[in-house]
């Protein structure tokens, strides 16, 4: 199911536009990595994709249908959101958190059915954390919380996943674990839009990259074409070198790495 953004602009009332003329598309199995400095409009764009922000101009279409004509429940059946790992004030168990993803499919004041519970269990299996289902969300690690949030999105059974810095504040091992899951979900046909402050992630998990700056997408294409010395150095206003190295055991035999030059 294709996500298509056409000439999108957004501004809060009586304030300058935060997003100006953004266009891109994400097809089935695509992982689009959105790169950009802080304050450039990435989170605002995601809120537009989720139908939270009402756009000023342009259209967002899913499967050819304008999301402005959809109810919140209809849109939630098509698009799921994975926020950055967070803490919850209430003592929810992990299974409680995941079953919340079934909300668009459960009637008002209804309780989850055995089918809903089985879908939630399958989502926990997918992310490899079934053993945590009875644990308190507030007592597990940051990496485990992020996996719970991904499980919740999978339980929602939406074909499009919007991920806001899914590896933020995670250690190297958990970052790698999340990126592997993202690649696996794409191979199953999920369409994914993710933001990150780590350009290396574009090479590891994504087939498309969009560079966003000043509320506009200034470049979009494959990681090899877009994640370059010049583009990154201009984007982050610091000298960055993209180097290639051969790694034994890698399918391609070669990997690219972004290195800031500390001179």
Nearest residue to 190 via CA among 203, 175, 205, 201: 205
What does 59-82 look like in DSSP terms, one character per residue? EEEETTEEGGGS-HHHHHTTEEEE
Average pLDDT of 219-248? 95
> What is the pLDDT, as a whole number, of residue 71?
94
> What is the pLDDT, as a whole number, of residue 251?
64
Nearest residue to 52 via CA among 103, 14, 109, 10: 10
- Asked if residue 87 has pLDDT above 80, the reply is no
> What is the pLDDT, as a whole number, of residue 56?
84
Span 122-159, pLDDT tens digits: 999 999 999 999 999 999 998 999 999 999 999 999 99
Nearest residue to 5 via CA among 82, 66, 83: 66
- Asked if residue 209 has pLDDT above 70, the reply is yes
- Model confidence at 247, pLDDT cuts 50, 70, 90, reads confident
> What is the pLDDT, as a whole number, of residue 4?
97
- Asked if residue 252 has pLDDT above 70, the reply is no
- Asked if residue 74 has pLDDT above 80, the reply is yes
- Asked if residue 257 has pLDDT above 90, the reply is yes
> What is the pLDDT, as a whole number, of residue 99?
97
Residue 119 DSSP symbol: H
| Contacts of residue 168, Cβ cutoff 8 Å, sequence gap at least 6 | 84, 85, 197
Span 96-120, pLDDT tens digits: 999 999 999 997 778 999 999 999 9
- Asked if residue 36 has pLDDT above 80, the reply is yes
- Model confidence at 254, pLDDT cuts 50, 70, 90, reads confident
> What is the pLDDT, as a whole number, of residue 184?
97
Span 152-197, pLDDT tens digits: 999 999 999 999 999 988 999 999 999 999 999 999 999 999 999 9
Q: State the chain's mean pLDDT as an integer.
A: 93
């Amino acid at each position: 199911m294709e996500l298509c953004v056409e000439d999108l602009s957004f501004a809060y009332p009586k304030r300058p536009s935060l997003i100006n003329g953004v266009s891109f598309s994400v097809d089935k199995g695509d992982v689009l990595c959105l790169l950009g400095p802080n304050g450039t409009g990435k989170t605002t764009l995601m809120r537009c994709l989720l139908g939270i922000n009402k756009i000023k101009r342009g259209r967002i279409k899913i499967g050819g249908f304008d999301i402005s004509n959809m109810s919140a429940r209809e849109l939630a059946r098509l698009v799921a959101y994975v926020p950055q790992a967070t803490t919850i004030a209430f003592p929810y168990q992990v299974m409680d958190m995941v079953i919340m993803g079934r909300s668009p499919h459960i009637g008002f004041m209804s309780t989850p059915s055995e089918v809903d519970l089985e879908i939630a269990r399958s989502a926990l299996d997918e992310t490899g954390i079934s053993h945590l289902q009875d644990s308190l969300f507030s007592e597990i690690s940051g990496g485990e919380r992020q996996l719970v949030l991904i499980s919740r999105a999978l339980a929602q059974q939406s074909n499009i996943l919007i991920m806001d810095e899914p590896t933020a504040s995670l250690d190297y091992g958990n970052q790698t674990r999340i990126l592997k899951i993202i690649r696996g979900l794409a191979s199953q046909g999920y369409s994914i839009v993710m933001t990150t402050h780590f350009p290396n992630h574009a090479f590891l998990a994504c087939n498309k990259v969009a560079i966003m700056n000043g509320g506009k997408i200034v470049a979009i294409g494959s990681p090899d074409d877009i994640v370059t010395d010049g583009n990154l150095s201009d984007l982050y206003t610091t000298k960055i070198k993209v180097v290639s190295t051969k790694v034994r055991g890698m399918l391609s035999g070669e990997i690219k790495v972004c290195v800031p030059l500390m001179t």
